[in-house]
Structure 1
Amino acid sequence: MKRLILVLECLLPSFCLYGQISITDIENKETQQTAVYDSLKNFLGYDYQKYLGQDLYVLPKNEKLRIYGYSDFKIIVNNNFQTYNPENSFSSRTKYDSIAGQYFTVIKTSGEPDDFTRDKYLILNSRKNGQTLYFLYDPKYESSFPFLVVGYFEKLKKTYSQKNWFVNYANDESFDLSTGNKLSIAKGSYYCEDVTIDSENFKVSLLLLTPQGNKFLYQLYDTGLYPVTILPKTDAEKYKRKFGSDNWQSILDRKLKIGFTEEMVKMSWGEPLEINRSSNHDQWVYRNQYLYFENGLLTDFN
């Protein structure tokens, strides 16, 4: 079946921030300053105060998951938190249709990042009706964050759209968006036409074009674990010349070789969890594997 693509609507003119929230149980006593948002990340963990002033989009869900709605959206009733249910439902979760696909502006944050005894909230103003909601924020788990930050999405569009990229990705189960036919995608260079959201799984994806003119979606993953997931085509060509064809292919395949430089190892496996230095060698720790370097070159690994 032909896949559909969900494209975020254009940003509306900026909204004025609302005044101080009067509920003393959750507001900070000190005046908060708007922080510059790090738009290279969607989920900021304990840096959640940087969401202040940002616009958030509630990501829709796969059809099978919609019955579960959303958790952690609250309103204030008689000075107490109550699950947001505009249809007066007694469910502990907000119904899917009540909030999916809506835009909110973060007008305040509450709780200190280093205070582990106090709940943390993003205080939201609805673009749809101006209502104030309170989202119970968990800085430890990205899976509990149901939003796409509009600033992050715009940054991705500026970074990836209308450019050629080398994609370290092979998949025999991709689909041509025009015909619905299966595509066999090999590692290689592709033109990015746009950044969008897959309407089946609602993940941020690149709309890529093959040399033959086929269009398919590539889900954009966090590149922190394996740096060479996607990079500009010109950079891929530069590294291939710099390291040699065989070594470059080994880097792409995550296969280390004795004699690799530290740069080559990081490109293939990412940053180590820990580095232990001694007078004879450096030990890099990757989960259950250990790498050993002398004079900047890989000498052993197990």
Structure 2
Amino acid sequence: MLKKISYTIVGILLSITCESQVTTFTSAEPIVKEKKMMYDSTTNFVGHNAESLIGQKLYVIPKTEERQKNGYLGFYKKYKYTNNSLAETRTYNLFADKTFLVEEVLPYIGVNKYHETSLVLKLKETSSDSVYYYVYDWDNPMIYPFFIQGFYEKEKDRCTSKQVVLKKKNPWENTHDEKRIPIYDVLSGLAIDIDPQDVWQVKKLVIDYRNEELAYIISNSKDQTFTVGLNAINNFRRSTGPCVLLYDEQLKKIHQSQPEMYKLIMDDKIRVGMSFHMVRLAWGNPKEIKNSSFGTLWIYPTGQRLLFKNGILESFL
């Protein structure tokens, strides 16, 4: 009997000992860090990705003399006043030709339907301790007064030695009531007669004060010099001036091996037998593309309908 009681006590002690060796814990919730958006220097306007501007330097593009009196919109001395347009600091000389570091991206504090797509950039002037707040509209690049220094440096390296050719006009200029506006040598001031056979080389990237934009300086074998807006190359929807095409390997091959097709492209004409790429060079991108068992149909804004089969233009009307 005594022995049985002893075994029972030992069993209880062992069970208590085993239970006391069990350790419990609650694992922490996983921490998911947001991936910081990195600026890759491939565009001068980042749209919704404003966070990628943190740490970037923004240069304020100067204005033409007649527009300097209006100063700049969207700059404030105090963050708390960024919802009040009457508190804007518009003084031209405070911002023109100066560089600012983006320190933070802050929410827009006002309640205003016109600022639903806005954030606020905290900017520190690189040459002083001055701090300003800029209301950044991620949906409106037209009012953006900066270029990003990183973009400028990368684009400068990328574009140097690139080649372009000039058409005399935009293929749809009659639709937009455009005119053939003459262009002038930016060094001599003399009028330039555009020759589609001329190949121009990009010499450098500069700020075109007259047009308040970044522009390429291009020259041809005749030592004529002309400026081309940064967004003008392969842009078939510009309002005035010649149409500028990137003279890449594809266009160069057409020029050298299919001179008749090249002439049609530069004259804004199309012909049966052209490829997708050739038609784009001649007329720009269509408004609509439809694919079917019959082929690919391109529809242009003015109603022209082009039918391609296996990537080759078969008919158009």
More strand by share: 1
Bin for the TM-score computed over the shorter chain: 0.7 to 0.9
Map 1:15-94 → 2, pairs under 5 A: 34-76=36-78, 79-81=80-82, 92=88, 94=90
Structure 1 runs, 4 residues or longer, greater than 6 Å off: none
TM-score, length-normalised on structure 2?
0.70
More helix by share: 2
CA RMSD after TM alignment? 3.3
Find the counterpart in structure 1 of residue 128 from structure 2: 129
Find the counterpart in structure 1 of residue 199 from structure 2: 189
Map 1:229-240 → 2, pairs under 5 A: 229-232=244-247, 236-240=251-255
Per-residue deviation, residues 109-140 of structure 1 (Å, max 9, x unmatched): 2359xx98463222222112233322111222
* 2:61 counterpart letter in structure 1: L
Map 1:258-277 → 2, pairs under 5 A: 258-277=272-291
Per-residue deviation, residues 122-166 of structure 1 (Å, max 9, x unmatched): 2222112233322111222221100111122112211222x2623
Gaps of 5+ in 2: 1-31, 169-180, 238-242
* 1:42 counterpart letter in structure 2: N
* 1:295 counterpart letter in structure 2: N
Alignment length, in residue pairs?
262
Map 1:209-288 → 2, pairs under 5 A: 209-223=219-233, 225-226=235-236, 229-232=244-247, 236-242=251-257, 244-288=258-302
| 1:45 partner SS | coil
1:297 aligns with 2:299: no
Q: Percent identity?
A: 24
8 Å Cα contact 1:261-1:296 kept in structure 2:
yes
Cα gap change, 1:186 to 1:63, in 2 (>3 Å): farther
How far residue 176 of structure 1 moved from its aligned partner, in angstroms, is 4.3
TM-score, length-normalised on structure 1?
0.73
8 Å Cα contact 2:45-2:141 kept in structure 1:
yes
Cα gap change, 1:252 to 1:212, in 2 (>3 Å): closer
Cα gap change, 1:252 to 1:190, in 2 (>3 Å): same
Residue 165 (structure 1) aligned to one of 145, 163, 166: 163
Find the counterpart in structure 2 of residue 109 from structure 1: 105
Moved more, 129-138 or 139-148: 129-138
8 Å Cα contact 1:282-1:294 kept in structure 2:
yes
Q: Quick one: distance in 1 between partners of 2:34 and 2:76?
A: 22
Find the counterpart in structure 2 of residue 145 from structure 1: 144
Q: Quick one: distance in 2 between partners of 1:181 and 1:168?
A: 17
8 Å Cα contact 2:166-2:194 kept in structure 1:
no
How far residue 296 of structure 1 moved from its aligned partner, in angstroms, is 2.0
Moved more, 58-67 or 132-141: 132-141
* 2:68 counterpart letter in structure 1: R
Moved more, 232-241 or 120-129: 232-241
Q: Quick one: distance in 1 between partners of 2:33 and 2:76?
A: 23
Cα gap change, 1:183 to 1:261, in 2 (>3 Å): closer
| 1:168 partner SS | strand
8 Å Cα contact 1:194-1:206 kept in structure 2:
yes
Cα gap change, 1:239 to 1:191, in 2 (>3 Å): same
8 Å Cα contact 1:74-1:82 kept in structure 2:
no
Gaps of 5+ in 1: 1-29, 85-89
Cα gap change, 1:233 to 1:259, in 2 (>3 Å): closer
Highest CA radius of gyration, 1 or 2? 2
How far residue 93 of structure 1 moved from its aligned partner, in angstroms, is 5.2
Moved more, 165-174 or 122-131: 165-174
Q: Quick one: distance in 2 between partners of 1:41 and 1:192?
A: 19
Per-residue deviation, residues 49-93 of structure 1 (Å, max 9, x unmatched): 33232211100001111111110112326x433779xxxxx7745
